[in-house]
């Protein structure tokens, strides 16, 4: 008690001095302000203590055999400000809900009757063009991220080029308007010491749209000329459809709706699709496009409806399909094969929705799969898919008769090959336990590091 009395008296005497009282008052006011500034200025996907802890940890020895990635801290106008203006990125609808949750989107609903309830927790309505936001969030917590640019093997540019370009795709904007933000980004990044050392040869970027949206070579109305700008020639580009004649482009899977948080969730899904009882031979999910003469999709939709006993059709001109719906997912889960015509580009998100459900894709253009997604498929497309030439169908060939030519054992073998590819074509949700699955994120990051490391070794020989 005497010690406590002495401490109390000493504390009271200390605070009785005006100078000391002012110091404590100033400290008490300053601390909350500093904490508020810290948490409000950090990117939204750093707001958990687990992620903050990861940010302070350097990569462990032996964990990153191909090197590490440095992530540029871009001015917010090139990423966060675009998200803040999510209501203004699409002329028809707000993308705020779509781009929420680090790009994974809102939780999926209406799936209870389609799959076991415990599996529905891993499903989200993810937009196919949200990859830039998803990649930025995941790489920010990548185990091989470094905060020391001098030690980095690769440099990631977290510019949301697809979102920046999308705003001007459907209006009467000028070419200079469509290129403005891309030019500003390149002005900033080419001024960085890390860029100047390599002229961008060890830099990479993720593009959330097809390559063709960034390759406008005249003043035509569609797209930007971002990928044709000189600084981008050496930079490695990840996109959901690559230009097959550009070696600096790598195609990555389209985002789908299944984002497991653990290996247990993934294994449960794989078991579910392997044992699913499929009542239809094939399915077609797609919409009619009235402005396109002799639209191939109309032929597929008509064939499917004529063979209703064997084919299940989902008309996306009547059922919204962009972020996925219960009807789309159920259609793929109920069918052994799924028809995959080209869309606005040769590839489509539907291919990955189909394969994620354990269904075998049927292609009509070689370029829909050949030369695309090679880091992720790890197999000859002919072993896990079917090819029927577009002209054959236009000339009256029955898709049903061709697919009926595959025996039960052959179908099971192809479906198993599709199922084995699922882990590397999905984008996993970061788990609370920090567990890293070998998903599309991991495959892409390691592939970039491996390629840039090998590229550097060759240049030194």
Q: Which CATH class is domain 277-424?
A: alpha beta
Q: Is the pLDDT reported for residue 8 higher than 50? A: no
- Is the pLDDT score of 50 beyond 60? no
Q: pLDDT per residue over 260-280, tens digit each? A: 999 999 999 999 999 999 999
Q: How much is the pLDDT for 170?
A: 77
Point out the least confidently predicted range of 43-52, 131-140, 212-221, 259-268: 43-52
Q: Is 175 exposed, middle or buried (0-12, 13-18, 19+ CB in 10 A)?
A: middle
Distance between CA atoms of residues 136 and 342, nearest Å: 28
Average pLDDT of 120-128?
A: 95
Candidates 283, 254, 439, 304; CA nearest to 359 is: 283
Which residues, including other chains, have CB under 8 Å from residue 268's CB and lie 6 or more apart?
116, 118, 119
Q: Which tokens is 42 given? A: 């950090």
**What is the overall mean pLDDT for the chain?**
87
CA 289-255-363 angle, to 5 degrees, is: 50
Question: Domain segments of the chain: what residues?
Answer: 66-256+429-460, 277-424
Closest CA to 194 of 133, 235, 143: 235
* Distance separating alpha carbons of residues 454 and 461, to the nearest angstrom: 11
Question: For 280-316, how does the pLDDT look when each residue is reduced to its tens digit (9 = 90+)?
Answer: 999 999 887 777 778 899 999 999 999 999 999 998 8
Q: Is 323 helix (H, G, I), strand (E, B) or coil?
A: coil
Residue for token pair 């998200």 = 83
pLDDT at 7 over 80: no
Nearest to 439 by CA among 250, 260, 251, 257: 260
Q: Is 220 exposed, middle or buried (0-12, 13-18, 19+ CB in 10 A)?
A: exposed
Please give the DSSP secondary-structure letter assigned to residue 123.
Answer: B
Phi, psi of 398 (to 5 degrees): -85, 120
- Report pLDDT for 33: 53
The residue with greater pLDDT, 171 or 108, is 108
Tokens of 73: 């801290």
Compute the distance between CA of residue 312 and CA of residue 281 in angstroms, rounded to an integer. Answer: 9
Beta strands in 11-122 (DSSP E): 69-71
Please list the residues that pair with 145 across neighbouring strands: 69
pLDDT tops 70 at residue 450: yes
Residues 6+ apart with CB under 8 A from 163: 82, 83, 89, 99, 129, 132, 133, 208
């Amino acid at each position: 008690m005497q010690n406590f009395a002495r401490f109390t008296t000493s504390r009271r005497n200390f605070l009785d001095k005006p100078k000391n009282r002012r110091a404590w008052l100033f400290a008490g006011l300053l601390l909350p302000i500093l904490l508020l500034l810290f948490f409000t200025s950090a990117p939204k996907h750093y707001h958990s203590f687990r992620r903050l802890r990861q940010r302070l940890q350097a990569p462990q020895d032996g964990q990153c055999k191909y090197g590490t990635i440095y992530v540029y801290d871009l001015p917010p106008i090139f990423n966060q400000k675009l998200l803040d203006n999510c209501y203004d990125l699409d002329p028809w609808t707000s993308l705020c809900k779509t781009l929420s949750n680090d790009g994974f989107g809102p939780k999926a609903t209406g799936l209870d009757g389609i799959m076991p309830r415990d599996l529905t927790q891993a499903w989200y309505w993810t937009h196919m063009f949200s990859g830039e936001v998803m990649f930025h969030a995941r790489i920010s917590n990548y185990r091989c991220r470094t905060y020391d640019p001098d030690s980095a093997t690769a440099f990631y540019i977290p510019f949301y080029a697809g979102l920046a370009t999308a705003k001007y795709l459907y209006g009467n904007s000028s070419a200079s308007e469509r290129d403005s933000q891309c030019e500003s980004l390149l002005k900033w990044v080419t001024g960085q010491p890390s860029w100047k050392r390599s002229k961008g040869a060890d830099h990479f970027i993720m593009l959330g749209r097809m390559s063709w949206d960034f390759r406008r070579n005249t003043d035509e109305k569609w797209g930007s000329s971002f990928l044709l700008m000189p600084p981008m020639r050496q930079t490695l580009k990840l996109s959901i459809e690559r230009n097959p004649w550009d070696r600096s482009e790598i195609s990555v899977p389209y985002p789908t709706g299944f984002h497991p948080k653990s290996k247990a969730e993934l294994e449960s899904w794989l078991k579910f699709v392997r044992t699913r009882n499929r009542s239809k031979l094939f399915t077609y999910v797609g919409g009619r496009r009235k402005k396109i003469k002799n639209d191939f999709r109309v032929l597929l939709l008509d064939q499917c409806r004529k063979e209703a006993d064997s084919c299940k059709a989902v008309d996306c001109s009547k059922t919204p399909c962009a972020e996925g719906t219960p009807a789309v997912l159920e259609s793929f889960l109920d069918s052994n094969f799924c028809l995959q015509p080209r869309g606005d580009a040769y590839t489509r998100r539907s291919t990955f929705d189909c394969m994620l459900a354990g269904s075998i894709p049927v292609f009509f253009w070689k370029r829909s799969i050949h030369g695309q997604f090679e880091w992720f498929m790890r197999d000859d497309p002919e072993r896990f898919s079917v090819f029927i030439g577009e002209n054959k169908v236009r000339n009256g060939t029955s898709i049903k008769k061709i697919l009926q030519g595959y025996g039960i054992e052959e179908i099971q073998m192809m479906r198993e090959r599709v199922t084995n590819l699922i882990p590397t074509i999905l984008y996993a949700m970061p788990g609370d336990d920090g567990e890293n699955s070998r998903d599309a994120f991991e495959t892409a990051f390691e592939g970039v590091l491996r390629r840039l490391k090998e590229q550097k070794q060759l240049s030194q020989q």
